[in-house]
Structure 1
């Protein structure tokens, strides 16, 4: 039994390494990691996990541009079929998320307004979509071919809960509150009967494919709500434009909710960065709250994990701003900045965040240093940065054409 447990532990660790390689290096990275691990005489579960992991970037990050997977294997019929399946599932996922919200809204609206003893309250967002994807994946043994719309619907149904809570006034029972809520990831996994290994694996997938709400990097100063950062415009250098600056912490909107589980100050870096670009490029002031409202309404807010990466190209299109994803291309990044374009970058742990964080790259100096407009930090926005910081710390598993998007 001890040997079996040790073997399972080694299998899990090996699969985790393959997962990380898949997400940071695309199919090449996963293939390389699989070859290395296979050389260590992996047990069957690891080989199965490694095969399925080829589908994880395709299934759950279907917006990733083809140039990230620019490898001969892309021409494989199996990979093409898997990509098509991923696109279908992605559409189903978005459709079911929208229908779920519509059903809840309709249910609330049908309650007669004159029933004083009963009210309805919704508390959704306890399990964000990244966790939902991870749990559904593990529940179906990470086999992309097994997943379909019925199984997506079933997992969504499993997480929805209803309960009656007593309502008191002056110590007396005056009625009830019908609460519609979704389970937390741990509650949902317990309901589905996950063992510890399945829970750990689901957590690894969720962490790998998601960005957490913004958290400040160590040793850097963030803006504060009482700092007056209104009416700031960064003066352009060379071909770069004068750039309007917004702070996600601004006292005018920082405490406003972005979705159901966090504020603009805590999770609004995506909308704030997009607002900077829209206001700069259209000469029309569009504020972070305006973008947040649109993001929530159109399903681009991911509760607990900031904004979906699709917010950038979709939001730019909504406000009439040309936008194209360039993946991780250093050449296109430099050329865009030299041409006076703005670039939105999604960053991972490093100089700009401990989780995930959208920032604006607003110019490049004659010495090749990058200028930024970081909606979380005016201090960081005053510095010149080495381009390799962005290439090394960008989110290499970004979807929807990222981690760099050229606007303008």
Structure 2
């Protein structure tokens, strides 16, 4: 029992050291260094804390190699909540600790996501009650509630997990889902706010009745607005600037670890500076002519996407600009689509776009849209052969080092044509369907990772 406690204490010391250096090490470098097994510089400090107990490091490293083939250091750069709290990381089977049990981690992420969705649902109920109370004070007779989140309760689970764990600072032993739930629930009355407008609606006379029902009515229209992750950071978890940076690093690492495509970002000078303007490009080698846009095009790269920029985070709006411009008579460039996505709350700060952007943007432009899974390859091929387009959410592989939206635009023999919003070169190649299926996100929300449109 004492030995088990020492395992926990050593792991907690290691996590604390990892927490300390994360604020000084950007995620991309941290992940790259961990993958190489780096032990110098800040990584050495973490490793030094880990090896204080040879028994623990032996067990942990053996476990990491056994199933996930990930260095222990990389695991320590993940938010502790997904392990059920680091204090319990070695609970259960000592030969297969929680931190290396892929099934347990997956189940824990499902449980956390479901919990957050429940809390957001409680927030919707709360704002609905506040709207009803507000309307009762107007003396009006008619009101309507517009809920943009009826089908998809928008949230970035990874960033919320990261924010919660960052907020706990050195208090690793008390990290738990129950504690996170209680923390969020205390602020649920402000998870959503609302706007109110009035409009006059004309009623027509029903010719089948003797009475004249024609006239006009004043309606109060309330629109529910999600406060977003910035609100969580400031008002629920009360994060310092350093903690916010740690939370973002946690979120990106977690997204890469899970392969969920939640984080969509390009970290390079091109993301800010852009590439020379490509001009008007049309792909005509598929069943449907496709209007191509590139988020790194100097006409778009530095333009805003919320408080981010299109070059770094705008693959979602750029993909939908390609789809809408190709399948409708409306030419919509990435700047206009990014503005629409932001105004309709699909922008996710420092993470790209909520997955719900894809189906809801399609619907907004009158395009039929259906979700599709990687287990339905023939359905994808058939849709592309019929001239439909498919937006795909990709994870680490040929198209991205993290998460990235691309457009599947046609079939050429037994290969797939794409329109990649960040690479004209990749858009000129034909790709094996197996690559696209294997690298598609397994955790996409809103019906993904494939959305058949048209």
What band does the TM-score fall into relative to the shorter chain? 0.5 to 0.7
Taking structure 1 as reference, are residues 143 and 11 closer, same or farther at Cα in structure 2, changes over 3 Å only?
Answer: farther
The 5 Å alignment of 1:318-329 reads 318-328=364-374, 329=376
Q: Quick check: 1:143 aligned with 2:177? A: yes
Cα distance in 1, alignment partners of residues 62 and 304 from structure 2: 39
Counterpart secondary structure, 2:305: coil
TM-score, normalised relative to structure 1: 0.61
Pairwise CA distance, 1:157: 6.9
Pairwise CA distance, 1:143: 2.9
Taking structure 1 as reference, are residues 381 and 189 closer, same or farther at Cα in structure 2, changes over 3 Å only?
Answer: closer
Residue 425 of structure 2 is matched in structure 1 by: 379
Query: Which among 367, 373, 392 is matched to residue 438 of structure 2?
Result: 392
Pairwise CA distance, 1:372: 0.8
Counterpart secondary structure, 2:350: coil
Residue 117 of structure 2 is matched in structure 1 by: 87
The 5 Å alignment of 1:9-408 reads 10=59, 41-42=95-96, 53-57=106-110, 59-60=112-113, 83=114, 85-91=115-121, 130-136=158-164, 141-143=175-177, 147=181, 149-151=184-186, 153=188, 159-160=233-234, 183-184=240-241, 186=243, 205=254, 207=256, 208=258, 210-215=262-267, 225=274, 227-237=276-286, 240-260=287-307, 262-328=308-374, 329-365=376-412, 367-408=413-454
Alignment length, in residue pairs? 304
**For 1:227-258, what per-residue CA distance to the aligned partner results, in whole angstroms no more than 9, with x for missing partners?**
34232111043xx1011111212333221111
CA contact (8 A) 2:160 2:232 kept: no
Higher RCO, Cα 8 Å, sep 6+: 1
Cα distance in 2, alignment partners of residues 214 and 95 from structure 1: 37
Cα distance in 2, alignment partners of residues 156 and 250 from structure 1: 29
Cα distance in 2, alignment partners of residues 151 and 53 from structure 1: 27
Cα distance in 1, alignment partners of residues 179 and 330 from structure 2: 47
Taking structure 1 as reference, are residues 388 and 48 closer, same or farther at Cα in structure 2, changes over 3 Å only?
Answer: closer
**For 1:263-303, what per-residue CA distance to the aligned partner results, in whole angstroms no more than 9, with x for missing partners?**
11111111000011011111211111111112112221111
Taking structure 1 as reference, are residues 228 and 378 closer, same or farther at Cα in structure 2, changes over 3 Å only?
Answer: same
CA contact (8 A) 2:116 2:157 kept: no
Which one has a bigger Cα radius of gyration?
2
CA contact (8 A) 2:355 2:445 kept: yes
Taking structure 1 as reference, are residues 187 and 325 closer, same or farther at Cα in structure 2, changes over 3 Å only?
Answer: closer
Residue 47 of structure 2 is matched in structure 1 by: none
TM-score, normalised relative to structure 2: 0.56
Cα distance in 2, alignment partners of residues 279 and 299 from structure 1: 21
**For 1:139-163, what per-residue CA distance to the aligned partner results, in whole angstroms no more than 9, with x for missing partners?**
67443697255256599778428xx
**For 1:189-235, what per-residue CA distance to the aligned partner results, in whole angstroms no more than 9, with x for missing partners?**
79xxxxxxxx998775465353241347xxxx999845342321110
Pairwise CA distance, 1:344: 0.6
**For 1:42-92, what per-residue CA distance to the aligned partner results, in whole angstroms no more than 9, with x for missing partners?**
46x6699965751423543xxxxxxxxxxxxxxxxxxxxxx5x55323445
Unaligned runs of 5+ in 1: 21-29, 31-36, 61-82, 98-127, 162-180, 191-198
